[in-house]
């Protein structure tokens, strides 16, 4: 007995030693794989790409649009406390966890896009696959940088050569300490990525990015930079040559199916994925007075000049609210014919070219809404102001207004937004505390708007 037990103990100890490593090797949870084995096939790359879309959809699931609206003049906010009130007061700081939580999201998408771009050379792919992966990754990298640079830096045109501080531009997946580049550097990468994407992407690509989506985004980017020639060229190219058809329904962009006019849509419909619920939730006025209300200014504009679109706002017991977001599910259209028609029209007018086309474009939108059309021979100035008015009405609550006002500011207009100059410090969101975890990162200046 004694011997048996003694032997067993020694055996146990020896066995333990022999199998030390296996005793300590834990299987990874089934939702994880080792990084070095994670990217080996076209399917793996596709899944990584899907996850890049996934995060990009998070970027645009509310905060992006909301921050822009709160900094501009289409909305007001209920109450006098909270992180969103801080945004509305144009005084975000590094502890604003709504802004901080948002800021990281585009960079996660950028990391994934960079991982694809650095990883595809080691994977066996057809040329078509390779082109498509590279094109989509660059497209997504570009639109996420674009989202960041518009919120966290003064706009393009704030300095003549855009040498003012922008954001950290990430063109590699390497983890390292970095500093902010100039706005110019950010736009350089955005434009280069989108131009590559135009060449690489197919014309048809399901719900994913196409060559037209890249062109439409180039139009947006150039328009933001007041480069009207390029903006008009890219916009009209998509309008004329793309497969998109203008919808007669003013609400088609907010549906649960992809609108025929939408050029790039983030999919968020269905019980399994209702992330846009966060977007529309702040406006949804069906159950109670929502957090974000419609400003008096916007309310009267839509009522006086909205035509059919006056149904998009409502006065419920003294509270002015949006109604166009009163839905359970909706996709988020990031760019569409309505936007491109207005970009093209305004750009042509700024260039004082193709004015009749410009008038047609504005009238396409006015006609759908059932409001009085621009007459033939309207002046460039009128086309511009009408295009801007239509843009403000069409995209209320969707985050367009702020960038429009800033763009006009860079054109030299003395834009005041709720009594604050368009370029006061607080009109730019502050970076979160995490960015100064390592010394040397330059934060945005604060205050100056009130």
Partner 1 sequence: MKHKLLLSFMILCLTSAAWAQQITVSGKVTDAADKLGLPGVNIIEKGTTNGTVTDVDGNYSIRVGSGATLLYSYVGYLTEEVPVGGRSVVDIQMEADITQLAEVVVVGYGTQLKREITGSISKVDGQKLQQLQVPSFEAALQGQAAGVQVIQSSGMAGSGSVIRIRGISSVSANGDPLYVVDGIPITADNFLAEANWQNGAFNNNPLAAINPNDIESIEILKDAAAAGIYGSRGANGVILITTKRGKAGKPSFNFSSTVGVSEAVAKPKLLSASEWLELRQEAWELDGNTGAVWVPGYTTAGSSSEERLATLNMLRDQQIDTDWWDLLTRRGFKQTYNLSANFGFKDLTAYVGGSYGKNESYIDGNSFERLSIRANIDYKISDNLDLGVSSSLSRGINERVRVAYTGGLGDAMSVALPVYPVHNSDGTYFRGITRTVANPVFTNDNFQGYTIDDRSITTLSLRYRPIEKLQVSLSGGYDYLDQKNDQWESGILRNDFIDTNGDGEGDTPRNRAERDVRWVDNFNASATAEYDYELSSDSKFKFLVGSEYQQSITSGKNNMVFLGSDVNSTQFKDEGNFSSETQDPQNLFRLNDDKWSFLSFFGRINYSLKGKYLIQGTARTDGSSRFGSNNRFGFFPVLSAAWLLSEESFMDNVGFVDFLKLKAAYGITGNSNFPSNQWIGTYGVNPNGIYNGQPIRYPNKVHNPDLKWETTKSVDIGFELGILNERLDLEVSYYHKRTEDVLMNITLPQYNGFGNFWDNVGEIKNEGVDFTLTSKNITSPNFTWTSTLNVGYNYNEVISIGGYTEDAVGGGTNDTRIVEGSPVGTNFLVRFSRVDPANGRPIYLDINGYETYEYNEQRDRVAVGDVLPDAVGSFNNVFTYKGFDLGVLFVFTIGGNIYDSSSKRQLTFLSDWNVREDVGDRWTQPGDIARYPKVTLSPAEHGNDKEWFNTDLYLHDATYFRMRNISLGYTLPNNLVSKIGLNSAKITLSGTNLLTFTEYPGLDPEVVRDFDNVTDRNLSPNVTYLTPPQEKAYNVTLNVSF
Q: Is 289 in the site for partner 1 (CB under 8 A)?
A: yes
Residues 144, 304: Cα–Cα separation, whole Å = 36
Query: Does residue 213 contact residue 258 with C-beta atoms inside 8 Å?
Result: no
Residue ranges in 87-126 that form contacts with partner 1 under rule CB under 8 A: 89-91, 93-96, 103-104, 107-112, 114-115
Rounded distance, CA 271 to CA 265, Å? 18
62 Cβ neighbours under 8 A, 6+ residues apart = 276, 278, 279, 280, 281, 282
Q: Measured from the CB of residue 10, what is the shortest distance to partner 1 in angstroms?
A: 9
Using an 8 Å Cβ cutoff, are 58 and 105 in contact?
yes
Candidates 64-72, 86-94, 232-240, 407-415; binding stretch for partner 1 (CB under 8 A): 86-94
Residue 425's nearest CA partner among 448, 409, 443, 402 is 448
**Using the rule CB under 8 A, is 204 a contact of partner 1?**
no
Angle, helices 355-369/337-351, rounded to nearest 10 degrees: 140
Confirm or reject binding of residue 146 to partner 1 (CB under 8 A): no
- Kindly identify the residues of this chain, within the stretch 351-390, that bind partner 1 according to CB under 8 A: none
Q: Is the dihedral of CA 144, 148, 150, 153 positive or negative?
A: negative
Enter the tokens of residue 288: 């109670």
Minimum distance of partner 1 from residue 245's CB (angstroms): 22
Interface with partner 1 in residues 294-313 (CB under 8 A): none
Tell the smallest beta-carbon distance from residue 437 to partner 1 (Å): 4
Give me the least distance between CB of 361 and partner 1, in Å please. Answer: 31
Considering only residues 49-68, where is the footprint of partner 1 by CB under 8 A? 50-55, 57
Looking at beta carbons only, is 256 or 319 nearer to partner 1?
319
Judged by CB under 8 A, the residue of 70, 142, 147, 168 near partner 1 is: 168
CA distance 400 to 381: 21
Rg, Å, the chain Cα set: 25
Our finding on whether 38 is near partner 1 (CB under 8 A) is: yes
Residue among 287, 377, 414, 419 that touches partner 1 (CB under 8 A) = 287
Q: Does 433 bind partner 1 (CB under 8 A)?
A: yes
User: Does residue number 175 form part of the binding site for partner 1 (CB under 8 A)?
Assistant: yes
């Amino acid at each position: 007995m004694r011997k048996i037990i003694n032997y067993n103990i020694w055996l146990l100890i020896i066995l333990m030693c022999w199998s030390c490593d296996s005793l300590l090797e834990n299987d990874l949870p089934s939702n994880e794989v080792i990084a070095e084995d994670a990217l080996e096939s076209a399917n793996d790359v596709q899944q990584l790409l899907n996850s890049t879309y996934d995060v990009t959809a998070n970027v645009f699931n509310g905060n992006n649009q909301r921050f822009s609206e709160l900094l501009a003049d289409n909305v007001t906010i209920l109450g006098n406390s909270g992180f969103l009130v801080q945004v509305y007061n144009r005084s975000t700081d590094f502890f604003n966890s709504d802004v901080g939580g948002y800021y990281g999201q585009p960079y996660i998408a950028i990391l994934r896009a960079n991982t694809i771009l650095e990883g595809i050379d080691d994977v066996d792919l057809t040329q078509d696959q390779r082109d498509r992966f590279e094109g989509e990754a660059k497209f997504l990298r570009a639109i996420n940088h674009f989202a960041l640079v518009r919120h966290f830096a003064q706009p393009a045109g704030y300095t003549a050569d855009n040498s003012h501080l922008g954001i950290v531009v990430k063109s590699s997946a390497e983890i390292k300490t970095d500093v902010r580049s100039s706005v110019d550097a950010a736009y350089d990468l955005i434009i280069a990525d989108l131009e590559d994407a135009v060449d690489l992407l197919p014309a048809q690509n399901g719900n994913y990015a196409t060559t037209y989506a890249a062109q439409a985004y180039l139009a947006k980017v150039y328009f933001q930079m007041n480069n009207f020639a390029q903006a008009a060229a890219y916009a009209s190219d998509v309008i004329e040559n793309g497969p998109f058809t203008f919808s007669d329904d003013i609400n088609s962009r907010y549906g649960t199916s992809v609108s025929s006019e939408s050029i790039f849509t983030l999919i968020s419909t269905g019980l399994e994925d209702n992330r846009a619920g966060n977007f529309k939730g702040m406006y949804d006025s069906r159950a109670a007075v929502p957090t974000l209300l419609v400003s008096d200014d916007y309310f009267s504009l839509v009522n006086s000049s909205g035509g059919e679109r006056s149904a998009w706002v409502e006065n419920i017991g003294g509270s002015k609210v949006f109604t166009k977001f009163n839905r359970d599910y909706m996709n988020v259209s990031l760019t569409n014919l309505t936007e491109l028609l207005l970009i093209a029209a305004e750009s042509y007018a700024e260039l004082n070219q193709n004015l009749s086309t410009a008038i047609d474009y504005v009238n396409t939108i006015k006609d759908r809404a059932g409001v009085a059309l621009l007459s033939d021979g309207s002046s460039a100035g009128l086309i511009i102001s009408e295009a801007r008015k239509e843009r403000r009405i069409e995209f209320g609550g969707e985050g367009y207004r702020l960038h429009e006002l800033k763009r006009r500011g860079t054109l030299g207009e003395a834009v005041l937004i709720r009594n604050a100059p368009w370029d006061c410090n607080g009109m730019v969101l502050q970076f979160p505390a995490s960015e100064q975890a390592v010394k040397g990162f330059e934060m945005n200046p604060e205050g100056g708007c009130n």
